[in-house]
Every structure is written in C-alpha cells, then in structure tokens.
Amino acid sequence: HLALRESDIPPRVLAEGAGPVMEEALALLREADPLATRAAIGRALREVKRRAALAIALADLSGAWGVEQVTAALSDLADASIGLALRHLLRHLHARGTISLPDPADPERASRFAVLGMGKLGARELNYSSDIDLVLLFDPSSSVYRDDSQSAMARLARDLVPLLTERDSDGMVFRVDLRLRPDPAATPPVVSLAAALSYYESQGRTWERAAFSKARPVAGDRDFGASFLEQIRPFIWRRNLDFAAVAEIHEMKRRIDQRRRDAPGRIAGRDVKLGRGGIREIEFIVQTLELVWGGHEPALRIPATLPALRALAAAGHLPRAAARDL
C-alpha cells in the first residue's frame, strides 16, 4: 500500500539508493516554515515519515543497508521530526509574547529548552515500531521565559505529543513517551533545570543511570542539553567500580520478567524482545557491564548496544565469543 501511494520512491531508491531520498526528506523538515499552521506542520511530518520510512525499508529489505545504518536513519528521521514540531511550537509561543526567543528565525538556538532522546532513540537504535522516549528540559531562570513559564511549557508538551502521535488517514509520525523524566507521577511534563539537577544529585536510581547512559540532545538548544548531561555525568558514571549496580539491575530484570509472566492474555511461544535470551536481556547485560566499568573507563560509555559489545570484548570485560553470540 505504501509503495503504491509513494510510487516515485521505489524507482528512485533502485536508481540512486536510499541515501539521497533520505537527505531530501530530512531537508524538507529542516526547511519547513515553523510559522505554518498546526495542520500544515502535521501533514508535512506525516508525509516525510511515509516517504523516508519506505526508502529505509527498501534499503533494508534489499540488503543495501545493514541493521546499524537502518536504525541510525530511523533515528535521524525522529530527530528531524521532533525538531520541526518544536520549532513550530516555540515560534508560536514567541509570536504570542509568551516567551522571548533570542533568534526567532532559528527558534531552537539558545532557547534554553532541550529535548533529550533516551533509550533506542538516544542510542540511535530506533526500529520501525519503536516509541520515542523523551525528556523535556528548560531553564526558567533564562531571559527567554517569564515568571509563569511552567504552565506555558506544560502546554507546549501537551501540543508536542499529539503533533507527533495522533493518527489520521496519512498515518502517524512517532509514538511518544515522556515517563523517563524525574518522578513522572509528581513532576510536570517539562522539567526545570534546577529540579532535574536536584533530583539526580539526591534521589536518582540505578535504572535512571542506565537510562541516561544512552541519552543525547535530539532537538532544541543542544548546547544546553549537552551541558545538562555533562553536569549529571558523575551521577551516571561512578568513578569507582560499581558492582552494586549489578544487583540492582538484576532485581529490575526480575520484576520485568515477573510482570511479563503475570500479564493477562500472554501468547505462548518465544518472546524475542522480552524473553530469555531476547533483545532486552542482551541490553541489560551490556548496560550492567557499562555501569560497572564505565566510570573508570570512559571508552566504554557507548550508547549503542552493538558497538558497546565490541568495546566490552576489546577491553576484556566480555569474552569475544560471547560478544559475537550476543
């Protein structure tokens, strides 16, 4: 169905490869007018998602691209989609006088608002059906924001999520999950810099260290996002060998397994993602070893699973045969 709808894409991929098609799609997102209507932005996001996803799938199915190139391309598509949605929302807040952007023509620049990609997006390992896990962060002490900025940022988050997740006849862009922010049941969807730093310095847990080991700025003020990640680096990567993380991650894995076994309507058979020897178990092994050794060995602070496996084997923390098998 998708190949029939976007009938120009298959012959182009056959003739040029998927790379030029992807670059054209990403350029459309980068160059779109952020002052366009909400409906127009939504249409642009869905159109680009359809065309880019088809090009990626054709390169994947034909064997022209390997798994790491496929997941990186899907992640780049997500980054660009989030960027356009955020530019649109920031620019409209500026036009209404709710915030004061330093450069309205480039809404993300110096906005002191960052979108951090977590999980598979942060590691650039996104697959075709992945949710995108995001943490939204801003600095209310900046001159960009007014005293009542928290409510404005909550509205921005409420607008951002449906812009990416709502489905219509043109499909959807990406499912969004904001629950990896600090204490999601008690905090607003956009977290202030001071609140985030205070939380991770005093209350952050091992699973959050594992989550942030994959984090990267994907949209907004990327310098601001990178600065935040640098400030919480001592929380993520403990200087001493951190064997306590092993027990905590083992317990976390045990709880996940228990919930999976107890889930109603569970289908019998092998669960490639969550079952024994599945993708999640491999990720747990890698993240545990990285948290144990990464504070002491910066070369092991690698977000993506496959490169991390190779690095752990090269450093002698995982037998090479085991790394190949995983």
pLDDT at site 219: 98
pLDDT at site 171: 86
CATH architecture of 244-325: Up-down Bundle (1.20)
pLDDT at 69 over 70: yes
pLDDT at 101 over 90: yes
Binning pLDDT at 50, 70 and 90, where does residue 263 land? Answer: low
Q: CATH topology of 2-236 equal to that of 244-325?
A: no
Binning pLDDT at 50, 70 and 90, where does residue 265 land? Answer: low
Look up residue 299 and give its DSSP letter.
G
Q: Sign of torsion, CA 35 39 42 43? A: negative
Task: Average the pLDDT over 91-97 and give the result.
Answer: 95
**What 3-state DSSP class applies to 195?**
helix
**What span, in angstroms and rounded, lies between the C-alpha atoms of 151 and 133?**
22
- CATH superfamily, domain 2-236, is Beta Polymerase, domain 2 (3.30.460.10)
**What 3-state DSSP class applies to 48?**
helix
pLDDT at site 270: 67
Per-domain boundaries in the chain: 2-236, 244-325
Q: What is the pLDDT of residues 137-195, one digit of tens each?
A: 999 999 999 888 999 999 999 999 999 999 988 889 999 999 999 989 889 999 999 99
Task: Average the pLDDT over 225-253 and give the result.
Answer: 83
pLDDT at site 284: 85
pTM of the model: 0.91
Contacts of 60 (CB under 8 A, 6+ apart): 70
Task: Average the pLDDT over 112-131 and give the result.
Answer: 96
* Burial (CB count <10 Å: 0-12, 13-18, 19+), residue 77: buried
pLDDT at 40 over 70: yes
Q: What is the pLDDT of residues 286-309, one digit of tens each?
A: 988 998 899 889 999 999 999 999
